[in-house]
Structure 1
Amino acid sequence: MPTRRTVLAVATAMAGAGIAGCTDEQSTNSDDDDPEAGDENGNGGAELGVAAEWNAIRARVHDALALGIADEFSTGAAIVGDMLARFEGATGEWGAHEQLEATDHEAYEEFEEALEELRLEGLETASLDRTRTETGIADEQLRTAQRERLAHRNAIALEMGLFAARIADVAALARANRFDAAETVAGEADERWEDSIAHDELSAADADLYVAFEGELPGLASAAADEDVDAVVDGAEAAIDAAIDAAYVLAEDESAADAAALATFQAQGWDAAALASLSDVDPDGAAAVARDALQRFEGARVHDAVEDADHATYEAFESELEAYAEALEADDGVDEAAADFAAAALRAQFAVAGALEEAPGDDHGGGHDHDHDDLAGGPNVVDGVPEDVDHVVEMHAASFEPDELTIEAGETVAFEHVEGEPHTVTAYEDAIPDDAPYWASGGFDDEDAAREGWDDGRGAVVSGQSYVRTFEVAGTHEFCCIPHEAAGHVGRIDVE
């Protein structure tokens, strides 16, 4: 009997082969039969802003796959963990997380599960086949949500933006001297393009632009095979420009193409961060990606659109991109600068959509299921950190620091909340010594009760608090934070 994941994988493969194109044309938001159909469903406003952010997230999923193809599985896994933590922290009415759940709850659940499987079963086990499968499933959930929320041609414009982001991956891999991977990603982008509904839409809308975009794709793979960095980068730049021009041709509303372009810039920013994380890549190479994005922005149509929409947002976008390039060059503070630029890009996406006041914040945390006022800590959740504890484990947005700790029997550990949304400290029942009593913030008797308790808002550790535990039984104790477990928020204490 086929499993749910097998069915999803087959459906995703069919979508990539163009069968989903029929769904596109039959979308309830299609403007083919009703020119006014998109006015209330996705021709602009906050719906467009969040759909563009889904594009940036889709691009990061493909970044992880590209790194897997380059045999950089651990870096890809780190990207997925960070991405999931950011997604969980995208709170507010128009956050990417909240809106995916509101648009299609099943797609939301499948997306989060696919990210978890992508990291744990694909990248962390260095399984490229599994990485491809889970990437496809995650991507399709966001693509489906975009089609549900946007007018048909606006969704196609975002699809062109995603092609631009995937082509940017080819250039980034070439800059990192991962030429085999660059060739593979370029070839896959070409195949995907041939099967995409955007292919036929652009061919019908503008034959010259269609030829200009399609003509660059085979050359990218050839240049990568020849290990010609300059040729790859030049070809990618031309293809990216053509893809964004195509978005303007295809979009029902120019704001959709503007948002697609900004999401592509955000995606290039994340490419630079990925390059910076590779130990053998010169910081100047990563900085060049950000510098190229800044130069492209200066000459892009969206440049004036952002400035016209809100000058302060325009200034922030440019200044954060400049600061990001400087951080990359100095090889210092890269993660923080990348996050700041992504936040500026997000606001710019909402600005060109005419919904700046709806732009969500991003605290990189999680815990979206509960209002803070409804939470209860339970036994041993205290204010501050007691002075007499032997060790302190900090709880960050999606990590324990340290995540592995060795202590003596009888010593006390305080798990201190220092960042993000509410956390839990929850032991895995089958991963603690047999003779140790079960333990978790909230004072539950077993793991099932702890998980059910969190659903009711019990066992939470919030800002300014810590959970305190004295470990008497020797052995390994493994634990997690329930709301951020999928993002890799797990830890281990070895008691000697």
Structure 2
Amino acid sequence: MATNRRDLLKAGSALFAGVSLAGCGGKLESAAPGASGDGSGGDAPKPAELAVAAEWNVYRALAADALALGLAGEFDAAAGVAADAFQKFEGATGEWGAHEVLETTSEKRYAEFEEALGQLRERAKGENVEEMRVEADLVSKHLSAAQTKLVGEENARALDLQFLGTRLVTASSLYAAGKGDAAATIAGDTYERFEQAAVHEDLEAADAESYEGFESAVEAVEKAAKAGTGGTVRNEANAAFDAAATGSYAVAASESAAGAGHLAAMQARGYDASMLASLGGPSTAFAHAAALNVYRARAYDVAWLTARGKSEYAKTAAEDIFAHFEGAKAHEALEEADHEAYEGFETGLEDLASAAGKGDAEAAASAADAVEKHLRAGISALATETEAAVLQAAFFRARFGDARELYALGEGKAAASVAQGLFQRFERDEIGFHERLESASEKLYQSFEHEHLQDGLIPAFKNGNDGAVETHFGGVNDSLLQFATKVGSEARVSAAESGLLSARASTPPRSRRSASRSALGRWCSRRSSTSRRARAGSTKRSNTPTTPSTSRSRARWSRSEARRKTATPTRRPRRSTGRR
């Protein structure tokens, strides 16, 4: 299964209809939390329940990130991640917020989770790695149990698999920051956890290919991290992440459950960009620029959905960008670096949401272009010339993925138009990308611009030449990735890829192309069902930035020790048996 942004939009359409992930609590007009999906064989979980269960995976990943930083000896950064996770959780209020649903689902699990997360920060401040491991495991244990109760065993096991997939991406990020020993430890721990997990046998039975792919990739990451082969670490970590995502669809009780978890996994992956900055890799300003790059891709998602008659999803997706930006650290960074770009971005985003709500595809496309223009200006202000070029390469790969998916839907002319637009952007030397690519490698420059784009992909789209599309789509992507790895450090390339959902678009196997087209076609023609997708009430947002964290935070770090278990959990010993 090739992971790309449209697959995520398809599988996660229920989330776009009313639930935001990780700290932006949505409110759906639906039954009370915990009313179904308890794993007892009753009604299937509601979309909102699937979304909240997926959101809990983000908190599991953040706790594991804190532990990873502790293993790397970066205890201040670890404490910061734990504190940030707690603050996000406290802010996820509302009927369908992660905080309220966990408390409703199991008050005991809720109390133990909060205590463990608070103690994780304290253990990090005390530089006690083994105790950090205990607390991180408790966080994961309590959230996993709550997931099982809320959405059932099959869906919870799919979420477990996706959580394990995010651990390999964290290992790759640590390796890129020069923490090879910690990366190898995380990969080894992930292998052990997978071997002992209930989803191990489920995956082997449901999808042998993903099972073998995930297990072998995890082992390869550990070996490569120990051997010091960075390219293998990154590639195998990506392979493990993809195998976990693919396998989750086979294990889960429904595609919607796996899709919601997949979105959460991508979000957890995005947090690795910030972690890189804290480890002495790229600057914080670059991390903010990488976050802005995500919004560029999402703006075109909105236009894409609007053009396909999904105006309600499109409007909610646009509003979700705004909500995420208002709570992101990149908000203040953009405002300070380029106020005009900041104002233009927010104004353009309002226009985009309005056009999407009205179903005006032409206006949505124009607004998406305006949003992208101002975000590009912000990236130029925050990043160095080389960093901006690396981000532009990732953005181009995203848009080429969009074009290919249009072609798969039978819209060859539209696909050619997107590719032609990218060619024109390249010729205009936006963000200095043209000059930087040409100066870095004349061979890569000729391969990208002439062989695979101007004389390859564009005419292939126009002429409906399937074979040529596959060849030249792979060619432009390979050229751009080679350029990024040539001019940028592993940390910068990893941050660009981790921070941009669309950068994961890649050429699927030829044998699966027709299946991909069929799935996309089914989604685009599928009628929206309000009985299954309760929509969130629309609220008018102001251009004036807010700081919700200061007004909503209810930090409770010093909870009573009486609420903790009397016996301290211990880590399960590493298996002595050989790996298969």
Instruction: Identify, as 1 or 2, the structure richer in helix.
Output: 2
C-alpha distance in 2 between matches for 1:225 and 1:292: 32
**2:478 counterpart residue number:** none
| 1:168-192 CA-partner distances (Å, limit 9, x unpaired) | 1111111211111100000100110
| 1:288-324 CA-partner distances (Å, limit 9, x unpaired) | 98699899999x9xx98x9968123445667979989
Note the 1:245-394 alignment, pairs <5 A.
245-281=246-282, 310-315=313-318, 354-357=533-536
**1:234 counterpart residue number:** 235
| 1:81-134 CA-partner distances (Å, limit 9, x unpaired) | 1111121111101111111111111111111111111111x1001000110011
Alignment root-mean-square deviation, CA: 4.1
TM-score by length of 1: 0.57
C-alpha distance in 2 between matches for 1:29 and 1:124: 37
Alpha-carbon distance change, 195 to 80 in structure 1, aligned in 2, over 3 angstroms = same
Amino acid across the alignment from 1:71? G
Amino acid across the alignment from 1:57? Y
Amino acid across the alignment from 1:250? V
Amino acid across the alignment from 2:533? G
Answer yes or no: is the 8 Å Cα contact 1:90–1:96 preserved in 2: yes
**2:417 counterpart residue number:** none
Answer yes or no: is the 8 Å Cα contact 2:203–2:211 preserved in 1: yes
C-alpha distance in 2 between matches for 1:136 and 1:51: 17
List runs of 5+ in structure 1 lacking aligned partners: 1-26, 333-340, 343-350, 362-395, 399-418, 423-482, 489-496
C-alpha distance in 2 between matches for 1:106 and 1:276: 36
Answer yes or no: is the 8 Å Cα contact 2:187–2:222 preserved in 1: yes
1:421 counterpart = 2:421: no
Alpha-carbon distance change, 223 to 254 in structure 1, aligned in 2, over 3 angstroms = same
Identity in percent: 35
**2:74 counterpart residue number:** 72
TM-score by length of 2: 0.49
Answer yes or no: is the 8 Å Cα contact 2:37–2:150 preserved in 1: no
C-alpha distance in 1 between matches for 2:293 and 2:196: 30
C-alpha distance in 1 between matches for 2:268 and 2:174: 14
**1:132 counterpart residue number:** 133
C-alpha distance in 2 between matches for 1:232 and 1:292: 24
Amino acid across the alignment from 1:60? L
1:217 counterpart = 2:218: yes
Amino acid across the alignment from 1:421? R
C-alpha distance in 2 between matches for 1:163 and 1:152: 16
Note the 1:465-484 alignment, pairs <5 A.
483-484=554-555
**1:50 counterpart residue number:** 52
**2:475 counterpart residue number:** none
Q: Alpha-carbon deviation of 1:277?
A: 2.3
SS where residue 228 of structure 2 aligns?
Answer: coil
C-alpha distance in 2 between matches for 1:72 and 1:331: 25
The total of aligned residue pairs comes to: 321
**2:557 counterpart residue number:** 486
Amino acid across the alignment from 1:256? A
Q: Alpha-carbon deviation of 1:167?
A: 1.4
Alpha-carbon distance change, 297 to 248 in structure 1, aligned in 2, over 3 angstroms = farther
Alpha-carbon distance change, 85 to 199 in structure 1, aligned in 2, over 3 angstroms = same
Alpha-carbon distance change, 318 to 358 in structure 1, aligned in 2, over 3 angstroms = closer
Kindly indicate whether structure 1 or structure 2 has the higher relative contact order, using CA contacts under 8 Å at least 6 residues apart.
Answer: 2
Answer yes or no: is the 8 Å Cα contact 1:193–1:199 preserved in 2: yes
Amino acid across the alignment from 1:110? E
C-alpha distance in 2 between matches for 1:276 and 1:282: 6
Amino acid across the alignment from 1:216? A
C-alpha distance in 1 between matches for 2:47 and 2:538: 10
**2:4 counterpart residue number:** none
Answer yes or no: is the 8 Å Cα contact 1:307–1:314 preserved in 2: no
Answer yes or no: is the 8 Å Cα contact 2:177–2:280 preserved in 1: no
| 1:377-427 CA-partner distances (Å, limit 9, x unpaired) | xxxxxxxxxxxxxxxxxxx877xxxxxxxxxxxxxxxxxxxx3138xxxxx
Amino acid across the alignment from 1:484? A
1:194 counterpart = 2:195: yes
